[in-house]
Amino acid sequence: MSTTDTILSGAMQPLTQLTEDEQMLRDAAAEFAQQEITPCILQMDEKAALDSDLVKSFFEMGLMGIEIPEEFGGAGGSFFMSIVAIEQISKVDASVGVFMDVQNTLVNNAFLRFGSDDLQQRYLPRLASESVGAYCLSESGSGSDAFALKSSAIKEGNGYRLNGAKLWITNANEADIFIVFANAKPEDGYKGITAFVVERGMEGFSISKKEDKLGIRASSTCEVRLENVLVPEENILGEFGKGYKVAIETLNEGRIGIGAQMVGLAQGAYEAALDYVQERKQFGKKVSEFQSVQFQLAQMATEIEMARLLVYNAARIKEAGQPFLKEAAMSKYYGSEVAERVASMAVDLFGGNGFVKEYPVEKYYRDAKIGKIYEGTSNMQLQTIAKLIMH
């Protein structure tokens, strides 16, 4: 029996068929995106910063704590609900989509899966109501080779002194709560890596260089510096020396979130192109009446649906408690491929107008590129898929 059969056994419903709660959140996220995000898109892209009022609105809507239990002030929803919401937000603006994605699929999930009762009680209410989270793994010498990190954690009294620099940290400007990976026992290699919860106000912690990026410009991507930051021992997330486990397992879930972001982006670019070609006239008729254009639109729609099915399938398998590593890698890999291809075709269909900022598709095109890079490059996803199918 295939994994899809396992998930759908009994009901055998289409993967795109949503429950009532999933549909309600999907519609609410779509409406929120249109009403609250759309008016800010150009300004946020130009300023390369999220609108502070918009950040507050995300918390008010409950979109920053979808899986956090109600007892901690969250929505008490499911992983799949996070995925459909990320898709809808990213359809309007992928920069804001990744802001929400990192909070839900990486930070919140890490606390839910690995946090002690004390950590959950201290941080989950804040993450659900007011505090943005960030996930600090990458360094200058550890990108795809994540476990080559050099940040150190040295035992001191009832805590650890953290030193090092983390690069390309999403949400760094907005975040108050940071999950930081450092090696507390370098002689044991990756088995010394430990995850720590660090707060912005801790002495020696600072946000440094902010990257000037090609796309998803409103999403902050910064360097985080740790200079003798004293972190109490109770702020270890998960077990000592098991930070690699925290990283691997949360990133697997995060990749499904990036797949959803890319599907949403592709859908937004496709719909913009579909509307445009039905309004634009050339040679005395609508551009949409040309068969070559119709074929391109058909290809775009088909590939988006294929990518969506991969994402939804991975999310359903994860929720069912089944192994989902291969499906997560496939959804992230193919979603990013489709997003870049569809956004490029959308620019083509807009013609010269597709190359200027007055129209939306040039931004979709810029935003799409990151999908092949962050949370595991396309080559890393292919390596994972190959390893699992050859097992």
Task: Kindly list the catalytic residues.
Answer: 375
**Contact at 8 Å (CB) between 160 and 196?**
yes
**Contact at 8 Å (CB) between 220 and 162?**
no
Buried b (16+ CB within 10 A) or exposed e, 347-364: bebbeeebeeeebbbbbb
Residues 6+ apart with CB under 8 A from 179: 106, 107, 110, 133, 134, 135, 136, 195, 196, 197, 198, 237, 246
- How many whole angstroms from its chain centre is CA 194? 22
Task: Supply 29's token pair.
Answer: 């996220």
CB atoms within 10 A of CB 274: 15
Please, how many CA atoms are within 13 Å of residue 24, restricted to the half-sphere of its CB?
A: 9
Query: Sign of torsion, CA 243 329 385 7?
Result: positive
**Contact at 8 Å (CB) between 247 and 181?**
yes
Q: What are phi and psi of 57, to 5 degrees?
A: -65, -35
Report d(CA 313, CA 373) in Å as an integer.
22
Report d(CA 316, CA 289) in Å as an integer.
39
